[in-house]
Amino acid sequence: MNLADGHIGSAEGVILIYVCLAAKLFLQYPAFLITAGGTAGWQVALVMTVAALILFLPAVALAQRFPGQGLSEISRQVAGPFVGTALILLICLWVLGAITLTLRSITENFIIAMLPHTPPSVLTAAMILCMIYASYCGFESMARTTRILFPVMIVGLLVVLLFNLPRVEAGRLFPFWGNGIPTVAVSGLSYVGMAAEAVVLLLLGASFRTSSVLRTSGMLGILLFGLTAIAMTALLIGVFGAPDAAQQPFPVFTLARLVYVGRFLQRTEALLVMFWFFAAAVHLSVLFHATAVGLAGSLCLPFYRPLIFPLAVLVASLVLLPEDYMVVVRTDRDWMRPLGIGILLIPFLLLVVAAIRRRGGTADAS
Amino acid sequence: MRRKLAANLLLLLMLPAILTGCWDRRELEELAFVLMLGVDKGTQDRFNVTAAIAVPSRMAGGGKESGGAGGESPYLLTSVEGPTVLGALSLISGYVDRQLSLDHTMAVFLGEELAREGALQAMDTLIRFRESRRTTILVVTEGKAAEFLAQIKPELESNPQRYLEKISANYQVTGLLPATGQVQNFIAKVNTKYGNPVTFYAALKQEQNRESRTDRQSESPFSVMAGDLPRTGGPNIEMMGSAAFKGDKMVGILSGEETRLLLMLTNWFERGIFSVPDPRDPELDITLEIRKGRPARIQVDISGSRPRISGRIRLEGHVLSMPVETDYTEPQFQAELESEFADFLEGEISHLIQKTQKWETDIFGFGHVAARQFATIQDWENYNWPKHYPEAEVDVSVEMTIRRFGRQLSPPTSFREKGD
Amino acid sequence: MQWRQWLRQILDPSASFQEQTFTLGDRGQQPAAEEQGPFRLKDAEARTQRVLTHIDSILEAVPLGEAAMKKAGDLTPDLDENRRRLEALFRMPENKDLIIRELQVATQPPTRAVVCFMEGLSDKTIINRDILQPLMLLAHLDHHLDGQRESGPTQFTVDVIIQRLLPGHQVSEKHSLKEVAEALLMGDTVLLFEGQRTAITVETKEPPVRSISEPKSEQSIQGPHDSFVEAFRMNVAMIRRRLKDPRVVTEILTVGQVSSTFVALMYIDGIVNPKLVAEVKQRVDGIKVDTLNDVGVLAQFIEDAPASLMPGSLTTERPDRAAAYLAEGHVALIVDNSPYALIFPITFWSLLQTSEDYYLRFPFGTFLRFSRLAALLTSLLVPAFYIALVNYHQEMLPTELMLFVAASREAVPMPAILELVIMEVTFELIREAGTRIPNVLGSAISLVASLILGQAAVEARIVSPLLIVVVAITGLASFALPNFLDSFAIRMLRFVLLIAAALLGFYGLAAGLFILILYLSSMRSMGVPYLAPLAPRMRGAADTILQPPAYTMEFRPRHVRPMDERRQKPITRPWDPRSRAAEEEPDRGGRP
């Protein structure tokens, strides 16, 4: 199938990006935010959202300047064949790293939570199978699947959030400013890399109907993700208290375990695990597909399908590389997220260069 | 041809997965479910762990026959010693054929001796181990948990964990048990400066009347501690009141009445029955069902050398029995009753708070209220609330409004002619 | 005397009857090539003769112009020769189905003619009254319009016969033996005349057909009770009486060398997308097969993905359902001898819809659809859930229930997955047996079998009681699905998900579900995405799981891309003041 498959509309795009980004909230990211901000962890999330939205604007402008093209073609046009390809390879490398770390985190979390004695390679293999098949079916199919599964995932999330509201004690959110406004602001900005996966939107730019669809998907998706992050962080602080919440590798799972309504609505976390699996599968599949498409575009291949299997093997081997779970957590926090800021800046760079060299249509084409 | 070969190879590779039983698959009959766990200080080793393992055939079948009086105990009780809780439990595999599973552990009982030395030693497992749940209730038992567990024989239920489940929800009905006795609440509060945890407290019924452990001659019948309930008949165990902790070390016991006050101060109180002496005739008692009114508002004022805890608790009352001569349905008498009750409660509250100040533990979570006045966590940590708590002044007022009098207005005794 | 033969067989070694028993050609006899030779030779002979005659007739027609040349066929002017060839083609005199009757047409001078028809396929009354009678008795009564009788010899052409002598409603000329044979096989009557190269066919079809009865697999309580029959003309008629619009087109295609089955392609021109019609026609024309027996075979030839588990087309035996789909812009294929119509394109949501929903009020319709959705999810997921819960996630069961299940499972020596598979297989056996048993015994035996087997299995400690409940609920739920083919798909998918859950618990089940939904969303039925109109979301999405009120369904669903999107005026209840109040709101129909 060629690179520009798909005709994604804005509703599907928003849902796709939202699920793709929000899937990470089930992992240790809220813990990062709460460690950084203390009882003001949700403010860190707020700063992160605003910063991400602002940083994404140049990417949107870039996409509108080159309607109907993916980032690979854009960067080749703007920065020339060598530098352009190098930039795209950089992005793809980062996305691969993100996939690896997220996949490993998810596998570890499922092992910790649900299936303690299963070897991680089996769980990873199952997930990679889903990723391969999703990429094989195409971006359009992924969008449709997410559309169908979206109500299910939202119900899962809402059950966990709403049924834990009685446990929230507002007092736990004080002192209000947590670790202090400067710390909050700085950490918020440093964690903007959490939303960096939105750059895959650009890699897949050819699959969207119009560039304004891309803009809506990106902005609205990041906004919704930010709101969910704020809500979840606030809830976690309210239920667990900041010190305890900062130590949760799988906070949503622990929240789900606490759901106890009446005597019968309890112990539902195994069911909710299914819904989180969907979100995680969507997240990984979108990133994987974006890598395949981006690589194919930057190497001037007309089809991306031949790249699926080699990339899958690559991911499978990379996933087993970190020795233990703490290495994954630390690498993610100390390396991937800061690099993510750089990744978010690449479209900005390209935009500047495009403006200087006067490539592409005018910026207000839509 | 090649495709067929590849497909066959793939199928062959997948077969062992199905045959070996896939790592985590456990049949229900391979598992031994530990319903209740007891941890004591061990004699030979650090912990003495008691496990109450469910015997499903006895439990499920016993529902049809007469409850627990059928003779056989519905679970298997065994105690093992070991340096850690899980280490001790794994020794059980030496004589129990099934794999132990803590998935359905409803309650963890800690012996008082162990609790006083520090509960986290035993409890970190409950946070980290995947099988344990944070909704497990924590109970500190007077004496050894092993002895306590042996005595749990509920008569209305066929299995004990339903008994425990319902008892732990009792705070909604009578308020004599704490509302925050689960592991989740314990972990949220332990080792933070905002407050300190409480757990359930239970004891075995004592054979002879020993001297009561209340430190104050209080008129309230609920000020007895668990184990001292003046009763006959029923199971041997008594669960009432709570155990107060400082950090992870237990420092004191609260009676049922004091637990109710704790609930009122932390906004968990739903309702409870109080008997109040008639203000005009202290020999007689009026029974009131007190319910929560508007949420309690506690303020902590930290300006000044000593922090000042003030607040207002608002309650509503329904009169349940009023066999007295004075007709308290009249407004002036009603106001008298209300203020008498409020004063009584205020006295109890300040006594309770002083008790906790003596123990140097803020089990009410006033720290959270105090924290609102700080801008950042650093400032709050620098203030060090636990150091200031014991010197705090307390000024909590109670307001009680009687709403209803039941199905009768004036008490029949007030119809007596004056001079009869 | 029989025993004497047996004795002879045993005692006499040479009295073997084996060599004398009949075989078709094994045991070293020569293969078919030699036997096929004479047949092929005969066919070749007949064909050569026909070709020679064809050449002759073309040569004759050369001076008469191009039109005459086009019409030239391979019938000879010699009646006896034609008759001989016809009899050879139809393998007469062995074949007794073809009846050939000689007669003399009462023209001046009389002409010899021959009437041929197939016994059983043609209407004898019409032949007697409207063909034989006028030709034999009334041919001399030809008057001019002004009442004068013409004298002299009648100018005899086939044209005269058609125009003035044959009061049949469909009469046509045929020029070749092949066309004559086709006409005969359909049930028409063929007339051959001495000295003419043209034959006349009169429509007299009356094939044996079953009368219209109740649908066998798609019953409804409140709705029409007629169903398709095996004659495609009647089926087309049943649809036409519901869609009285001149734009309803029935194209007739023929499929199959030996069976020459008629396939009627029905659509409403002006609503349906012409690309769809063209594609379907192209696919049907491309079928080169010898027989086409049934709609199911046609579907496998035409569908996008015949190997997929989910069907890509809908077979329905209810004409009202077919008519409803036609009116939305779908295409219907009706195959002769098959009491079903094939609807293209179709989406996954047809699993949840029956035509009865629309005849009920919309809350009831919505309720029915939700219950079908629940049935779908139940029959697909419950066994997998059971295995995942009991084998992997025991912490999810409430403690009391878990202890009860553990107690009942202690008596059973088998692992949970094995008992589940045993019970499922048993259930499938019972279901299949219930279909095959003759009607009078059918339901009683299945009932008895399921009840007693279930009870006995529990007593024999083969399965636990909870499992019986699980399997029974799953089976019942799969019966609640209105579409028969889809329920097959669900039954098979259930096993796939069961294996996934048995391998990795809920994780495996989630992976299986994810892949399944991906598969569904990438599938197409005649070019339409299988999960439309919910994903990609299009107009018409409101009508899939919920059922909107009938008076609000103003637009046709967009996934078939109809040419005319609006089917109702915005205000369909003009007497209702509330709907007129809604008239002030702008029409929100724009977004795709």
pLDDT confidence of residue B211: 56
Instruction: Pick the residue from chain B with its C-alpha nearest to C398.
Output: B104
Contacts of C447 (CB under 8 A, 6+ apart): none
Count of residues making up chain C? 592
Under an 8 A CB cutoff, do B59 and C407 touch?
Answer: yes
* Amino acid (1-letter code) at residue B341: F
**ipTM exceeding 0.90, yes/no:** yes
Instruction: Spell out the alpha helix ranges (H) of chain A.
Output: 10-22, 29-37, 41-65, 71-79, 81-113, 120-137, 139-163, 181-190, 200-203, 211-240, 242-245, 251-258, 269-298, 305-319, 325-331, 337-357
Q: Which residues of A touch C544 (CB under 8 A)?
A: none
Cα–Cα distance measured from residue C164 to residue C156, given in angstroms and rounded to the nearest whole number: 11
C305 three-state secondary structure: coil
> CA-to-CA distance for B132 and A116, rounded, in angstroms?
13
Q: What is the dihedral of CA A317, A323, A326, A332, to 10 degrees?
A: -30
**Chain C: closest CA distance from residue B202 (Å):** 23
**Predicted model pTM:** 0.86
**Contact between B345 and B400 (Cβ < 8 Å):** yes
List the pLDDT tens digit at each of the 366 positions of chain A. 566 666 788 888 899 999 999 988 888 888 888 988 888 888 999 999 999 999 888 888 888 888 878 888 888 888 888 888 898 898 899 999 999 999 999 998 888 888 888 888 889 999 999 999 999 998 888 999 999 999 989 988 898 888 889 888 888 887 888 788 888 888 888 888 888 888 888 888 888 888 888 888 889 999 999 999 999 999 999 998 888 888 888 888 888 888 877 666 677 777 788 888 999 999 999 999 999 998 988 888 888 889 999 999 999 999 988 888 889 888 888 888 888 888 888 888 888 888 888 766 654 443
- The reported pLDDT for the residue numbered C592 is 41
CB contact A59 to C (< 8 Å): no
Mutate to test the interface with A, among C347, C370, C514 (most CBs of A within 10 A): C514
- Predicted local confidence at residue A366, as pLDDT: 38
User: Which chain A residues are Cβ-neighbours of C518 within 8 angstroms?
Assistant: 130, 133-134, 137, 141-142, 145
Burial category of B257 from C-beta neighbours within 10 Å (exposed 0-12, middle 13-18, buried 19 and up)? buried
Interface test with C, best of B14, B18, B25 (most C CBs within 10 A): B25
Q: Which two three-digit tokens encode residue C341?
A: 């119509």
Please answer yes or no on whether C518 and A11 come within 8 Å at the CB atom: no
How far B382 CA sits from the closest chain A CA (Å)? 12
In angstroms, rounded to a whole number, what is the distance separating the alpha carbons of residues B133 and A270?
A: 13
Question: The domain B270-420 belongs to what CATH superfamily?
Answer: Nutrient germinant receptor protein C, domain 3 (3.30.300.210)
Q: Where are the alpha helices (DSSP H) in B83-155?
A: 85-91, 112-117, 120-128, 145-150
Task: In whole angstroms, give the CA distance from residue A314 to residue A318.
Answer: 6
**Residues A147, A243 contacting (CB under 8 angstroms):** no
**Is C400 an 8 Å CB contact of chain B?**
yes
Closest-approach residue (CA) in chain C for A134: C518
Structure-token pair, residue C482: 């209105």
From the list C405, C460, C499, C463, the residue with the least C-alpha distance to B29 is C405
Query: Which one of A266, A267, A276 makes the best mutation probe of the C interface by having the most chain C beta carbons within 10 Å?
Result: A267
Judged by a CB distance cut-off of 8 A, whether residue A134 touches chain C is yes
Angstroms from B108 CA to nearest CA on chain C:
16
| Interchain contact A39–B (C-beta under 8 A) | yes
Q: Are strands C189-193 and C111-118 parallel, antiparallel or unpaired?
A: antiparallel
Q: How far apart are CA B338 and CA C468, in angstroms?
A: 62
Residue keyed to tokens 């704790």: B262
Per residue of chain B (420 residues), give pLDDT as tens: 577 777 777 766 665 555 545 677 888 888 888 988 999 998 888 899 999 998 887 766 544 444 444 456 778 899 999 998 888 988 998 888 888 888 888 889 999 999 999 888 888 888 888 888 888 889 999 888 898 888 887 777 767 777 787 877 888 888 888 888 888 888 888 878 888 899 999 888 876 555 555 554 455 556 777 777 778 877 788 888 899 999 889 998 888 888 999 999 888 888 888 888 888 887 888 888 989 888 888 888 888 788 888 889 999 989 888 888 778 888 888 888 888 889 888 988 888 898 899 988 888 888 888 888 888 888 888 888 888 888 888 888 999 998 888 888 887 776 665 544
Distance from CA of B393 to the nearest CA of C (A): 47
Give the Cα separation of A272 and A157 in Å (integer). 8
CA C52 to chain centre: 41
| E-strand stretches of B218-270 | 237-246, 249-254
Q: Which helix (H) or strand (E) holds B200?
A: strand B198-204
Q: Shortest CB distance from B29 goes to which of C395, C410, C503?
A: C410
- Distance, in Å, from the CA atom of B85 to the CA atom of C176, rounded to the nearest integer, reads 98
Domains present along chain A, CATH in parentheses: 10-357 (1.20.1740.10)
Q: What is the pLDDT of residues A323-337, one digit of tens each?
A: 888 898 888 888 888
Q: Annotate C487-524 with b (16+ C-beta within 10 A) or e (fewer).
A: bebbbebbeebbbbbbbbbbbbbbbbbbbbbbbbbbbe
CA-closest candidate to residue C561, choices C542, C545, C540:
C540
- The H-assigned helical ranges of B251-324 are 256-265
Residue C85 forms contact with B (CB below 8 Å): no
- Flag whether residue C563 sits within 8 Å of chain B, measured between CB atoms: no
Place of tokens 């249509």: A361
- Backbone φ and ψ of B68, nearest 5°: -85, -5
pLDDT of C537 reads 79
Nearest CA in chain A to C534: A148
A306 touches chain B (CB under 8 A): no
Binary contact (C403, B29; C-beta < 8 A): no
Residues of chain A in contact with residue B247, where contact means CB-CB under 8 angstroms, are none
Give me the DSSP letters along C43-94: HHHHHHHHHHHHHHHHHHHGGG-HHHHHH--S--S-HHHHHHHHHHHTTTTT
What's the pLDDT at A313? 94
C232 with C210: CB under 8 angstroms? no
Amino acid symbol at B148: F
Closest chain B CA to residue A109: B130
Nearest-angstrom CA–CA distance, C25 and C432? 37
Assigned token pair, A13: 């795009």
For chain C, the structural domain boundaries read: 63-143+156-202, 232-358, 361-522
Phi, psi of C568 (to 5 degrees): -135, 155
Beta strands, E only, C158-301: 171-174, 189-193, 199-202, 248-255, 261-268
Q: Smallest Cα–Cα separation from A303: which of A148, A141, A135?
A: A135
Q: How far apart are CA C1 and CA C117, in angstroms?
A: 50
Q: Could C404 and B133 be called an inter-chain contact, meaning their C-beta atoms sit closer than 8 Å? A: no
Q: What is the pLDDT of residue C576?
A: 81
Q: What is the pLDDT of residue A264?
A: 65
Q: Token match 């030239």: residue?
A: C72
Please tell me which residue of chain A has the smallest CA distance to B165. A263
The residues of chain B that CATH labels 3.30.300.210 are 270-420
Q: Does A12 touch chain C (CB under 8 A)?
A: yes
The length of chain B is 420
Q: To the nearest 10°, report the CA torsion of B370, B375, B378, B380.
A: -10
Amino acid residing at A111: I
- DSSP summary character for residue C269: B
Q: Is B371 on the interface with A (CB under 8 A)?
A: yes
Hey, are the CB atoms on C534 and A147 less than 8 Å from each other?
Answer: yes
What confidence tens digit (pLDDT) does each residue in B222-242 have?
A: 677 777 777 887 778 888 889
- The answer to whether C505 contacts A269, with C-beta atoms less than 8 Å apart, is no
Query: Is A121 in CB contact (< 8 Å) with chain B?
Result: no
Q: What is the distance of C-alpha B318 from the center of its chain?
A: 26
pLDDT tens, per residue, chain C with 592 residues: 788 878 877 777 666 666 666 766 666 666 567 777 888 888 888 889 889 988 988 888 888 888 777 777 888 888 899 899 999 888 888 888 899 999 888 776 778 899 999 988 888 898 999 888 888 887 666 554 444 445 544 556 777 778 877 888 889 988 888 889 989 998 899 999 888 888 999 998 888 888 888 888 888 888 899 999 998 889 999 999 999 988 899 999 999 888 889 999 999 998 999 999 999 999 999 999 999 888 989 999 998 888 888 888 899 999 999 999 999 899 999 999 999 999 988 988 887 788 888 888 889 888 988 898 899 999 999 999 999 988 888 888 888 788 888 888 888 888 888 888 888 888 888 878 877 877 776 667 777 777 788 888 888 888 888 888 888 889 888 888 887 777 788 888 998 999 999 888 899 999 999 999 999 998 888 888 888 888 777 777 778 878 888 888 888 888 888 888 888 777 778 788 877 666 655 555 444 4
Distance from CA of C267 to the nearest CA of B (A): 42
Separation CA A142–CA A283 (nearest Å): 10
CA distance A235 to chain B (A): 14
CB-based contact B372 A175, cutoff 8 Å? yes
